[in-house]
Structure 1
Amino acid sequence: MPLVSTGELVSGARAAGHGVAAFNVITLEHAEAVALGAERTGAPAILQISENAVKFHGGRLSAIAAATAAVARASSAPLSLHLDHVTDVELLRAAHPEGFSSVMFDASKLSYGENVKATADAVRWGHERGIWVEAELGEVGGKEGEAPLDAHAPGVRTDPAEAAAYVAETGVDALAVAVGSSHAMTERTASLDHGLIAALATAVPVPLVLHGSSGVPDEEIRRAVASGIVKVNVGTALNTAFTGAVRAFLDAQPSAVDPRKYMAPAREAVAETVAHFQQFMA
């Protein structure tokens, strides 16, 4: 089916009191697995390509974007294409010609004032081209190249009043908030502040986004959606499933050299993981 816009998926989920899951794509097999998982559950999904994934592909966005979009269009599930954690303005500007309906512009490492200015500029650019723009306020630690961050440290979590002011000043369409999760967690031990999520949902007029959801236990995700989170980002859990399946296959068959033999179970493991996370969106 045709690509659906991220804004449409997120606004629809919010209106229904549901969540919508966004899954990171690194390889073609990731994209195929997300589509398979979404088809099996009948739920929509967002396929997102991060700036780090683009770097993995030699800094070239076109090929992985075109392949991911082709997979989405061939799927029977409602799927959108999202460019994630963009810090490079040139990459931001590449989103529109490559068919992305949305971008997460990440100026969270900047001071508050610099973050507001850079994000407002990105929002103006995006809205002129019909692109839905997500941003981040607070510190969701664990991004590649960063030291681990204590999600419970003072000053780390998103303040509701500051978040409301930030949204008003920047005009963003969605806000990623720091409420206890962290990127790149391989164990699902994060404890979320559901009171803070509810306070943010009341204070902020746009949908809230949970980054680092791979490290959040099932029931915590379910509660987060009930408390006001709308977009739920999942990345590391897919890679854990993918790599685990490849490792298990090669441990059992160490002489195997045909990548199709071990990529097939890896793709299936990711599809199963996608389907697992989809059950907490409603």
Structure 2
Amino acid sequence: MTLSDPRPLLAGASAGGYAVGAFNVIQIEHAEAIVAGAERAGLPVVLQVSENTAAFHRGLAGIGAASLAIAAQATVPVVVHLDHAESEDLIDQAVALGFTSVMFDGAKLPYEQNQVRTAAVVARCHSAGVAVEAELGEVGGKDGAHAPGVRTDPTEAAAFVAATGVDSLAVAVGTSHAMADRSAQVDLELVRWLHQSVPVPLVLHGSSGVDDPGLVAAVKVGMAKVNIATRLNQVMTAVVRQVLHADPKVTDPRKYLGPGRDAVAAEVAMLLRLLHG
């Protein structure tokens, strides 16, 4: 199956009251596990490579090409997406590699600057047939997402989408990145208001900090794409620890990364079914 454009997938989710799961690739085993989980569930999925992951791999080319190759062989629709890119040069690299979606993260910029730079990215990417996600409000660290003034204003969000032409919008509604527990409370009334006000699909970042009932509730009131990273890392790391503890003499990475990969695939399949309803 060829790589998929996220726009029809997210439009269908937004209209249908379900969400597409988006999971972060840290290493090749993540990409393999995510696609295996999606195939097990029989549902579309988004493979996300973040700017931080590209830096970890000393460039986007290797991990990006691997993700694209794994996606191209999948039996379900797979989007390959550049996540949280503040560098426009990295966005251009992703487009050249064949990514079908990118996120320009200008959330830390003043509103006007975020709008101008996002519009420029959209113009370039749309000319290449690539979808663009942006962020308004700030889904930062655990403290930042709950601080006054960082949550997304629906009226401002609608104006931002109209001015930039973005295809989807990440919004700040009470979640935080890299949470190790599931104590975040999504502001469901704000999500409902945003869904009514903003004419493009909404994206929930920091979803690892939300428990399963909270994810279901957020999707029901309007979230169309749900990003999950830390939760999968916790699953993989727990299994790796178990294997190494059971046999301290293990040195072959395949002996512990393989079980970790299998555990992530099972978690992805479960989460995709949960989000689809």
**TM over 0.5, yes or no?**
yes
Comparing 1-10 with 159-168, which one deviates more in the overlay?
1-10
8 Å CA contact 2:118, 2:164 repeated in 1: yes
Alignment correspondent of 1:250: 244
The correspondence of residues 97-108 of structure 1 with structure 2, limited to 5 A, is 97-108=96-107
Alignment correspondent of 1:145: none
Q: CA deviation at 1:281?
A: 1.9
Q: Which runs of 4+ in 1 moved over 4 A?
A: none
**Aligned alpha-carbon RMSD (Å):** 1.1
Unaligned runs of 5+ in 2: none
Alignment correspondent of 1:168: 162
Unaligned runs of 5+ in 1: 143-147
8 Å CA contact 1:44, 1:77 repeated in 2: yes
Letter of the structure 1 residue corresponding to residue 44 of structure 2: P
Cα distance in 1 for residues equivalent to 2:40 and 2:167:
29
8 Å CA contact 2:138, 2:144 repeated in 1: no
Q: CA deviation at 1:151?
A: 2.9
Letter of the structure 2 residue corresponding to residue 153 of structure 1: A
Q: CA deviation at 1:163?
A: 0.7
Q: CA deviation at 1:268?
A: 0.9
Cα distance in 2 for residues equivalent to 1:182 and 1:196:
16
Comparing 6-15 with 131-140, which one deviates more in the overlay?
6-15
What's the secondary structure of 1:95's corresponding residue? helix
Cα distance in 1 for residues equivalent to 2:212 and 2:154:
25
Q: CA deviation at 1:51?
A: 0.4
Q: CA deviation at 1:247?
A: 1.0
8 Å CA contact 2:10, 2:224 repeated in 1: yes
Alignment correspondent of 1:123: 122
Of residues 236, 240, 243, the one that matches 2:234 is 240
Cα distance in 1 for residues equivalent to 2:224 and 2:207:
12
Q: CA deviation at 1:129?
A: 1.0
Cα distance in 2 for residues equivalent to 1:205 and 1:5:
18
Of residues 172, 192, 206, the one that matches 1:198 is 192
Alignment correspondent of 1:276: 270
Cα distance in 1 for residues equivalent to 2:94 and 2:244:
37
Of residues 146, 151, 166, the one that matches 1:152 is 146
What's the secondary structure of 2:170's corresponding residue? strand
Comparing 148-157 with 48-57, which one deviates more in the overlay?
148-157
Q: How many residues align?
A: 276
Letter of the structure 2 residue corresponding to residue 115 of structure 1: N
8 Å CA contact 1:7, 1:102 repeated in 2: no
TM-score normalised by L of structure 1 = 0.95
Letter of the structure 1 residue corresponding to residue 79 of structure 2: S
Alignment correspondent of 1:139: 138
The correspondence of residues 179-194 of structure 1 with structure 2, limited to 5 A, is 179-194=173-188
Alignment correspondent of 1:6: 6
1:182-206: CA deviations, max 9, x gaps? 0001111110110000000011001
Q: CA deviation at 1:150?
A: 4.2
1:74 aligns with 2:36: no
